[in-house]
Structure 1
Amino acid sequence: MSVFKAYHNSHDLFYREPFGAVTCGQEITFRLRTFSVEPIETCVLRLWATDHEIALSLHQTSEKSGVASAGESTPQPVENGMLFEANYKVPDIPGLIWYYFVIRAGSVTYYYGNNLKRLGGEGTLSKQEPPSYQITVHKQVFVPEWYKRGVMYQIFVDRFYNDHENGFSTYPRRNALLHANWSDLPIYIKDEEGRVTDWDFFGGTLGGVIKKLPYLKQLGISILYFNPIFDAPSNHKYDTADYQRIDPMYGDEDIFEQLIDTARQFGISIILDGVFSHTGSDSLYFNRYGNFPGVGAYQSADSPYFSWYKFKANHEEYESWWGVDTLPEVNEMNPSYRQFIFGLEDSVISKWLNLGVAGWRLDVADELPDEFIQELRQAIKTIRPKAVLIG
Structure 2
Amino acid sequence: MTFKVLYDSQDKDFKKPFGAVRQKEKIEFRIKTNELCDIKLITNSILGFESFHLDYLLKEKNYYNYFIEFDTSKYLGPIYYYFEINHNGKTYYYTNNDDVIGGIGKLDFKEPDFYNSIDKTLERKPELFYQVYIYDIKNKVPEWFKTGITYHIFVDRFNDEYSTLEDVDKDLADVYGGNLKGIIKKLDYLKDLGVDIIYLSPIFEAEGHHKYNIGDYEKISSDFGDMDIFKQLISEIKKRDMYIILDGVFNHSGSNSKYFNKDAKYDSLGAYQSKDSKYYSWYKFIDYPDKYECWDNIDTLPEYDQENKQLQDYLFDRENSIVKKWLNLGIDGWRLDAADLLSDNYLTSIYKNIKEINPNSIIIGELWNDASTFIRKEEKKIKTYMCGNKIESVTNYPLHGLIINYSKGDFTPKTFCKKIYSLIENFPIEYYYALWNFTGTHDIPRILTILNDDVNVLKIYAVLLMTLPGVPMIYYGDEVGLKGGDDPDNRRPFPWNNMNMDIYNHFKEIIAIRNNFDAFKKGSIHFIEDDNFLIYERKYEDETFYIVLNNTPNKVFNINLISDNIKLKDIQTEQIYDASNNKFKLKKLAYKILKKEKT
TM bracket, shorter-chain basis? 0.7 to 0.9
> Aligned in 2, Cα 1:205/1:84: closer, same or farther, shift over 3 Å?
farther
Q: Structure 1 residue 93 and structure 2 residue 74: aligned?
A: yes
Q: 1:46 aligns with which of 41, 46, 54?
A: 41
Q: Residue 289 of structure 1: SS of its match in structure 2?
A: coil
Opposite residue 146 of structure 2, the aligned amino acid is R
What is the aligned partner in structure 2 of residue 299 from structure 1? 273
1:51-70 residue pairs with structure 2 within 5 A? 52-56=50-54
Q: Residue 385 of structure 1: SS of its match in structure 2?
A: coil
> Aligned in 2, Cα 1:85/1:348: closer, same or farther, shift over 3 Å?
farther
> Aligned in 2, Cα 1:243/1:128: closer, same or farther, shift over 3 Å?
same
TM-score by length of 2: 0.49
**1:240 CA displacement:** 0.9
What is the aligned partner in structure 2 of residue 25 from structure 1? 24
> Aligned in 2, Cα 1:357/1:109: closer, same or farther, shift over 3 Å?
same
Q: 1:180 aligns with which of 165, 168, 173?
A: 168
1:156-171 residue pairs with structure 2 within 5 A? 156-158=153-155, 161-167=158-164
What is the aligned partner in structure 1 of residue 241 from structure 2? 267
* Distance in 2 (alpha carbons) for counterparts of 1:87 and 1:266: 54
* Distance in 2 (alpha carbons) for counterparts of 1:19 and 1:253: 49
* Distance in 1 (alpha carbons) for counterparts of 2:263 and 2:59: 70
* Distance in 1 (alpha carbons) for counterparts of 2:328 and 2:282: 25
2:152–2:201: 8 Å Cα contact kept in structure 1? yes
Aligned pair count reads 346
* Distance in 2 (alpha carbons) for counterparts of 1:214 and 1:27: 50
Q: Deviations over 1:240-281 (max 9, x none)?
A: 111112223333222322222222233322222221121111
* Distance in 1 (alpha carbons) for counterparts of 2:15 and 2:176: 46
* Distance in 2 (alpha carbons) for counterparts of 1:120 and 1:292: 54
Q: Residue 241 of structure 1: SS of its match in structure 2?
A: strand
Segment of structure 1 superposing worse, 282-291 or 250-259:
250-259
Q: 2:143 aligns with which of 137, 143, 146?
A: 146
**1:119 CA displacement:** 6.8
* Distance in 2 (alpha carbons) for counterparts of 1:233 and 1:348: 19
* Distance in 1 (alpha carbons) for counterparts of 2:65 and 2:193: 44
What is the aligned partner in structure 2 of residue 71 from structure 1? none
* Distance in 1 (alpha carbons) for counterparts of 2:184 and 2:67: 53
Q: Deviations over 1:74-114 (max 9, x none)?
A: xxxxxx9x898967454223434221245678997643323
Opposite residue 307 of structure 2, the aligned amino acid is M
Segment of structure 1 superposing worse, 237-246 or 146-155:
146-155
* Distance in 2 (alpha carbons) for counterparts of 1:83 and 1:204: 68
Opposite residue 25 of structure 2, the aligned amino acid is Q
Q: Residue 72 of structure 2: SS of its match in structure 1?
A: coil
What is the aligned partner in structure 2 of residue 239 from structure 1? 213
Q: 1:128 aligns with which of 96, 100, 110?
A: 110
Opposite residue 328 of structure 2, the aligned amino acid is N
* Distance in 1 (alpha carbons) for counterparts of 2:70 and 2:99: 27
> Aligned in 2, Cα 1:147/1:365: closer, same or farther, shift over 3 Å?
farther
* Distance in 1 (alpha carbons) for counterparts of 2:140 and 2:303: 31
Q: 1:112 aligns with which of 85, 88, 94?
A: 94
Q: Residue 200 of structure 1: SS of its match in structure 2?
A: coil
Q: Residue 225 of structure 1: SS of its match in structure 2?
A: strand
Q: Deviations over 1:171-209 (max 9, x none)?
A: xxxxxxx9726xx9x74xxxxxxxxxxx33444333343
1:308–1:334: 8 Å Cα contact kept in structure 2? yes
- Give ranges in structure 2 of 5+ residues lacking alignment: 113-127, 366-599
**1:157 CA displacement:** 2.0
1:209-224 residue pairs with structure 2 within 5 A? 209-224=183-198
What is the aligned partner in structure 1 of residue 350 from structure 2? 376
* Distance in 2 (alpha carbons) for counterparts of 1:58 and 1:212: 66
2:94–2:107: 8 Å Cα contact kept in structure 1? yes
* Distance in 1 (alpha carbons) for counterparts of 2:263 and 2:229: 29
**1:232 CA displacement:** 2.0
Opposite residue 262 of structure 1, the aligned amino acid is E
* Distance in 2 (alpha carbons) for counterparts of 1:17 and 1:238: 45
> Aligned in 2, Cα 1:134/1:294: closer, same or farther, shift over 3 Å?
same
Q: 2:292 aligns with which of 301, 318, 326?
A: 318
Opposite residue 231 of structure 1, the aligned amino acid is E
1:200-215 residue pairs with structure 2 within 5 A? 200-215=174-189
> Aligned in 2, Cα 1:301/1:260: closer, same or farther, shift over 3 Å?
same
**1:328 CA displacement:** 0.4
Query: Could you say what the CA RMSD is over the residues aligned between the two structures, in angstroms?
Result: 3.9
2:261–2:271: 8 Å Cα contact kept in structure 1? yes
* Distance in 2 (alpha carbons) for counterparts of 1:125 and 1:363: 41
Q: Structure 1 residue 340 and structure 2 residue 321: aligned?
A: no
% same residue: 37
* Distance in 2 (alpha carbons) for counterparts of 1:19 and 1:29: 10
Opposite residue 299 of structure 1, the aligned amino acid is Q
Q: Structure 1 residue 329 and structure 2 residue 300: aligned?
A: no
> Aligned in 2, Cα 1:132/1:203: closer, same or farther, shift over 3 Å?
same
* Distance in 2 (alpha carbons) for counterparts of 1:366 and 1:155: 20
What is the aligned partner in structure 2 of residue 173 from structure 1? none
**1:343 CA displacement:** 2.9
Q: Deviations over 1:208-254 (max 9, x none)?
A: 43344344444544433333222222433221111112223333222
> Aligned in 2, Cα 1:124/1:321: closer, same or farther, shift over 3 Å?
farther
**1:126 CA displacement:** 2.4
**1:30 CA displacement:** 5.5
TM-score by length of 1: 0.72
**1:54 CA displacement:** 1.9
Opposite residue 26 of structure 1, the aligned amino acid is E
Opposite residue 347 of structure 2, the aligned amino acid is I
> Aligned in 2, Cα 1:302/1:389: closer, same or farther, shift over 3 Å?
same
